[in-house]
Chains A and B, each alone.
Chain A
């Protein structure tokens, strides 16, 4: 996974974050709240973009942090905590689909019109117009294409990593990505 702009944080923040993570792992809820505050935006943003639904994303964000609390003792510090949490978020979102019974394993399907999720509700944030349009267009993508686009172009995962997460080949992932980009272009230039 490559770093994105939103992951860049000051070193002092990282140090404090490491301390909070360590304290949270030993059962300190106050430290865990600091961990939550430090990573909320990233987790929530990923949930919104993966689901295209802000309300559902809020629920999933809570699920992610509850899961993180439960699994924190298994975090060994072999990767950055943000990376660990990021993976956990992706897993929670993808598992939610599987558990929900709505994921029909149609990553390679060419007709997913019926799988369009509800577009994200309007954001209260004054986003730049083009970016807001992109958020809107992303929310309207078929689920499989949206997930691949978000994981690759927004979050920086490789095709191989995404293929492992989604259970598809790297080639299938590339095909979905291109399809997503073309659909976005069509939506944004209409």
Chain B
């Protein structure tokens, strides 16, 4: 059956309202009647309905990489579980760990001193490199991939090494250096695993949580007023408190 073009144009103008169910009853009836006998308009309508149906059932998408590291770095330093990996491993190798802890603490203390005195004019020791986890594919089973600590001992490096924490006067960034220090100490504390008394761990976690809240608040205030010396000092002090607490934890005696 052949239809006049103007009838299809009429239908075309009402397709949106037809799909939305917005047509008045008499127009709805006229449109239905047209659709019954016009294959072209029926086809257009069917295609539009297919698009609507497909849109409503689109599958979720995954990013090409794990985005958590970037988020975590922007919301402040993380608090990791203290009762993690292996008490057995720690028990088997107490001395290397103690030596590494002493070296690391000496190192972080030096770096923090340089940082807080703001007097460093020569490149300070390198403290660590942190490598982001590999790109997470949609099949990756490790959904909690985190930055991996590669090195905890100082190594001689050129002052401009791209991944290194430098404390030259020019590019020192107090908060970032503190974050690195905290990450290193945090890693060390975490590696002590179940050595510590659970009650002590609980108190430590509570204190760390309070300090982290203070860090978050200080950063938020600083974001609004980045040039405030008071706020900068406050953030430095809070970060310093966290470093001190983590150092203390690193030297706490194991539970007997």
Contact = CB atoms under 8 A, between A and B. Distances in A.
A75 to B, nearest CB: 15
Interface residues of A, number: 50
Nearest to B78: A29
B98 interface: no
Interface in A15-45: 27-30, 32-33, 36-37, 40-42, 44-45
28 contacts: A5-B57, A6-B60, A29-B76, A29-B79, A30-B79, A30-B81, A41-B60, A44-B61, A44-B63, A45-B61, A54-B63, A58-B64, A58-B65, A66-B71, A70-B220, A123-B61, A124-B138, A125-B62, A125-B138, A138-B55, A156-B56, A174-B16, A175-B16, A178-B19, A181-B48, A181-B51, A185-B47, A185-B51
Query: Residue among A127, A181, A185 with the most chain B CB within 10 A?
Result: A181
Contact of A36 (B47, B59, B68, B80): B68
A99 B79 CA distance: 33
A65 B63 contact: no
Contacts of A51: none
Contacts of B19: 178, 181
B54 A185 contact: no
B44 interface: yes
Interface stretch (B155-163, B166-174, B208-216, B231-239): B208-216
How would you classify the secondary structure of chain A's contact residues: helix, strand, loop or mixed? helix
Contacts, number: 121
B82 to A, nearest CB: 12
A123 B64 CA distance: 9
A36 B55 contact: no
Given A58-B65, A127-B59, A174-B20, A33 B138 contact: no
Contacts of A153: 51-52, 55-56
A32 B216 CA distance: 14
A66 B18 CA distance: 42
B67 to A, nearest CB: 5
Nearest to B74: A66
A29 B51 contact: no
A108 B244 CA distance: 59
B65 A154 contact: no
A136 interface: no
Contacts of A102: none
